[in-house]
Amino acid sequence: MASSANRLIIALDYGTTFTGVAFHPVTGGNDEEINVDEISLIKEWGGEETSSKVPSIISFSPIHWGLDLLNFLRETSPGEGEGVGRDAGALVWTKLELEQQERPDELRMILEALIGMNDLDYSKIVGSAGLPQYPAKDPVDIVAEYLSKVREYLVQTILGDYSPEYLSTTPVDLVITVPTVWKDEAKDRIFHAIQKAGFTRRAFRMLQDIILVTEPEAAAVYSLRSLLQYEDEDFIGPGECFVMCDAGGGTVDLISYRVRQLSPTLELDEVTAGTGAKCGATFIDQRFRKWLAKKLGPKDFRILIGRLPGSNITSHTIIEPRMIRLMEVFEAMKRKFDGSSTHNFEISLRGLVDLEDDPARGIQDGHIHIS
pLDDT on residue 72: 74
pLDDT of residue 187: 95
Question: The dihedral of CA 90, 94, 100, 103: what is its sign?
Answer: negative
Beta bridge partners of 44: 50
Q: Model-level pTM?
A: 0.83
pLDDT in the model for residue 341: 76
> If you ran DSSP here, which 8-state letter would residue 133 be given?
S
Q: pLDDT confidence of 80, banded at 50, 70, 90?
A: very low
User: Which range, 66-75, 96-105, 234-243, has the best average confidence (pLDDT)?
Assistant: 234-243
Q: Where are the beta strands (DSSP E) in the chain?
A: 7-14, 18-26, 40-41, 54-55, 57-60, 63-65, 90-92, 172-178, 207-214, 241-247, 252-261, 267-270, 275-277, 317-319, 345-348, 363-364, 367-370
CB distance 150 to 199 below 8 Å: no
Cα–Cα distance for residue pair 14/147, rounded to 1 Å: 8
Is pLDDT above 50 for 313? no
With H, G, I as helix, E, B as strand and everything else as coil, classify residue 62. Answer: coil
What residues are paired with 41 via a beta bridge?
22
Q: What pLDDT was estimated at residue 118?
A: 55
Of 91, 79, 63, 75, give the one whose Cα is nearest residue 129. Answer: 79
- Report helix, strand or coil for 370: strand
Picking from 134, 128, 53, 69, the residue whose alpha carbon sits closest to that of residue 97 is 134
3 vs 367 pLDDT, higher one: 367
The predicted pLDDT at position 110 comes to: 61
pLDDT band at 332 (very low <50, low <70, confident <90, very high): confident
In this prediction, residue 31 carries a pLDDT of 61
The mean predicted confidence, pLDDT, of the chain is 82
- pLDDT score recorded for residue 263: 82
- Look up residue 44 and give its DSSP letter: B
Confidence of residue 116 (pLDDT cuts 50, 70, 90): low
**Closest among 56, 46, 48, 49 to 20, alpha carbons compared:** 56
The contacts of residue 71 (CB under 8 Å, 6+ apart) are: 47, 48
What residues pair up with 175 in beta bridges, in sequence order? 11, 211
Percent of the chain with pLDDT over 70: 79
- The pLDDT value recorded for residue 130 is 46
Q: For residue range 154-184, list pLDDT tens digits in order.
A: 999 999 999 999 999 999 999 999 998 899 9
